[in-house]
């Protein structure tokens, strides 16, 4: 009897041990992934951790639905049934205040702040100029033999209708007015970053505890990895075609941060053998020529997006002075001659 009791106790101990080991194994962090390509005309990827597959799936549904909502609100090319978006605002320019979703007012409020910070280099009211370059680039990509630059007189006329003072916001009434009938909004310089920030926050509220969100190159991370290590990112080499260079330069630790890069290698077309990219210097009305790329690290993806555009379109000296004056913001410039410049705190994020 004592022997049977001993065997029973031993078996119970083993079962308890196995149960404990199994429970411990089940509690090991599981890495999940997510992919979509129906928002902001780009590929979106997410990798991260959540308490369970169910929580992850629900959070990714919230993340996607939030991004899609912002995509439709900030669309300047298409209108949607029962939705007042930026395309609606552009169509109603000069017709008085228009009631809009507060997500539009929030974006445009930030846009005005970034406009002031960058001395007007990031200007969401410059659609009259940016549209001309967009149309020329689209036609040039569709038929390279017919690629041409925008008409200079049209560019100069468009520049007369980019006054930020004509973008009138009334947060209490919930309205936006484009006072100039010829003005149009283009939030390509900041909209995707702002939407990324808001969607990432929504995913966290839905249960994501640690994640790396990448919306068409706009990176936003949440938390650290379960082992305590930082989320890492690489700074892409802008000088395409140079096989002597690695695909990525700096390795960066960016936990709970955003990394946004503006570069001349991302969207461009060619006219008579010369490349013309999409980042327009509103002083010259032509693509900015100061750098090959500018990367910005800061906590907020919307701010990072807007700053990267503005810094790309100003002199490196002026840009460095601006970054050094901003708390929690760092930047790195890569130039066509393969040299670089970085703010004083950039090295703190290098792996």
The pair of structure tokens assigned to 55 is 């929580």
The pair of structure tokens assigned to 52 is 């369970």
Residue 278: Cβ within 10 Å count: 18
List CB contacts of 120: < 8 A, sequence separation 6 or more: 164, 282
Whether the per-residue pLDDT at 324 is higher than 80: the answer is yes
Calculate the average pLDDT of the chain.
Answer: 91
The pair of structure tokens assigned to 75 is 């669309």
In tens, the pLDDT along 14-26 reads 333 333 333 344 4
**Which pLDDT band holds residue 62 (cuts at 50, 70, 90)?**
very high
In tens, the pLDDT along 195-218 reads 999 999 999 999 999 999 999 989
Give the separation between CA 145 and CA 118, rounded to whole angstroms: 37
What is the DSSP code string of 181-198? Answer: TT-B---TTTHHHHHHHH
The pLDDT of residue 242 is 78
Range 248-252 average pLDDT = 91
What is the number of alpha carbons within 13 Å of residue 138 lying toward its C-beta? 6
Give the separation between CA 125 and CA 226, rounded to whole angstroms: 43
Helix runs in the chain, H state only = 2-26, 53-73, 86-91, 102-117, 127-142, 152-159, 191-205, 301-312, 316-324
What phi and psi, each to the nearest 5 degrees, are found at residue 47? -135, 140
Three-state DSSP at 215 gives strand
Domains recognised in the chain with CATH numbers = 29-74+187-226 (no CATH), 95-178 (1.10.3980.10), 230-351 (3.10.520.10)
What is the DSSP code string of 59-96? Answer: HHHHHHHHHHHHHHHT-SS--BTTB--HHHHHHTTTS-
**End-to-end Cα, the chain, rounded Å:** 64
Whole-structure pTM value: 0.90
In 3-state terms the chain splits into helix, strand, coil percentages (rounded to 5) of 40, 25, 35
Give the separation between CA 220 and CA 242, rounded to whole angstroms: 28
Lowest mean pLDDT among 76-90, 243-257, 282-296: 243-257
Give the separation between CA 105 and CA 190, rounded to whole angstroms: 13
Whether the per-residue pLDDT at 137 is higher than 80: the answer is yes
The pLDDT of residue 8 is 32
Sheet holding 31-39, edge to edge: 31-39, 42-49, 210-215, 218-222, 258-263, 293-298, 330-334, 340-342
In tens, the pLDDT along 9-58 reads 333 333 333 333 333 444 577 899 999 999 999 999 999 999 899 999 99
Question: Contacts by 72-78 with C-beta closer than 8 Å and gap 24+?
Answer: 73/101, 73/103, 73/104, 74/104, 74/107, 74/187, 74/191, 74/195, 76/127, 76/184, 76/185, 76/186, 76/187
């Amino acid at each position: 009897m004592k022997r049977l009791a001993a065997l029973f106790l031993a078996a119970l101990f083993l079962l308890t041990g196995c149960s404990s080991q199994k429970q411990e194994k089940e509690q090991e962090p599981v890495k999940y992934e997510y992919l979509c390509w129906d928002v902001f005309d780009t590929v979106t990827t997410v990798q991260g951790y959540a308490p369970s597959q169910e929580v992850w799936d629900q959070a990714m549904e919230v993340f996607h639905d939030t991004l899609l909502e912002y995509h439709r609100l900030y669309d300047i090319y298409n209108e949607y049934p029962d939705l007042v978006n930026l395309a609606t605002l552009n169509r109603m320019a000069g017709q008085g205040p228009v009631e809009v979703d507060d997500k539009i007012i929030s974006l445009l409020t930030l846009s005005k702040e970034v406009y002031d910070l960058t001395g007007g280099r990031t200007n969401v009211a410059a659609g009259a100029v940016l549209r001309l370059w967009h149309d020329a680039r689209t036609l040039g990509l569709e038929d390279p033999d017919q690629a041409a630059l925008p008409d200079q007189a049209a560019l100069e006329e468009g520049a007369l209708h980019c006054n930020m003072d004509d973008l009138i916001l009334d947060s209490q009434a919930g309205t936006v007015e484009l006072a100039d009938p010829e003005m149009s909004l283009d939030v390509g310089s900041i909209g995707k970053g702002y939407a990324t920030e808001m969607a990432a926050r929504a995913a966290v509220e839905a249960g994501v505890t640690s994640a790396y969100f990448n919306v068409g190159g706009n990176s936003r991370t949440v938390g650290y990895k379960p082992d305590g290590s930082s989320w890492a990112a690489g700074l892409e080499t802008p000088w395409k075609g140079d096989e002597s260079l690695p695909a990525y330069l700096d390795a960066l630790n960016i936990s709970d941060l955003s990394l946004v890069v503006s570069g001349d290698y991302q969207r461009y077309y060619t006219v008579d053998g010369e490349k013309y990219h999409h980042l327009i210097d509103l002083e010259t009305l032509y693509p900015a020529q100061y750098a090959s790329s500018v990367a910005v690290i800061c906590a907020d993806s919307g701010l990072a997006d807007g700053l990267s555009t503005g810094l790309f379109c100003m002199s490196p000296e002026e840009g460095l002075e601006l970054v050094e004056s901003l708390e929690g913001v760092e930047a790195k410039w890569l130039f066509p001659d393969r040299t670089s410049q970085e703010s004083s705190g950039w090295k703190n994020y290098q792996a």
